[in-house]
Structure 1
Amino acid sequence: MFEDLEPRAKRGAAVASLSREDLDLYAVEELNERIEALEAEIARVRAAIDSKNSRKSAADALFNFGR
C-alpha cells in the first residue's frame, strides 16, 4: 500500500544506473553472470519489440484492407 505513495523511477533509470556502476568491484565470474543477465534482458526487449511490430502490422493490415 505504501509503495503506491512513492514516486516511480524514470524510464530507463535502471539501465542508466548500470552504466555508472564500478565494475572493478566484481570478480570475473560475477561479470560473466552479469553478461548472462543482460543478454537475457536484451532477448526480452527484442521479444517485446517483435510483439509490438506484429500487433502494428496486424492493425495496419486490418485498417488498410480495402485499399
Structure 2
Amino acid sequence: MNDDEISKPKAHEVGMAIDTMSIEELSDRIGLLEAEIVRLRAAIDARGNTRKAADAMFKF
C-alpha cells in the first residue's frame, strides 16, 4: 500500500484518534477548528442581532 492509497479525513471529528497524526496534520486540524469557532461565533452574533431587531419592533 502506498501513500496515495491512504485516505485522510478532510474534517475533524470530536473524539477521533489523533495519536497517529503528524504535527502538520494536528496543526491543520487546529486551523479547521479555529475557523469553525469563528463561523459559529458569527452565527451567534447574527442571531443576536436578529433578535434585537425583533424585540425593538415589537416593543410598545
Give the aligned partner of residue 48 of structure 1: 43
Runs of 4+ in 1 over 2 A off after TM superposition: none
* TM-score, scaled relative to structure 2: 0.76
**CA RMSD after TM alignment:** 1.3
The share of aligned pairs that are identical, in percent, is: 45
Give the aligned partner of residue 26 of structure 1: 21
Aligned amino acid, residue 34 of structure 1: R
Alignment match of 2:31 (pick from 36, 39, 42): 36
Aligned amino acid, residue 14 of structure 2: S
Structure 1, unaligned runs of 5 or more: 1-16
Give the aligned partner of residue 61 of structure 1: 56
Aligned amino acid, residue 51 of structure 2: K
Q: Which one has the bigger helix percentage?
A: 1
Structure 2, unaligned runs of 5 or more: 1-11
* TM-score, scaled relative to structure 1: 0.68
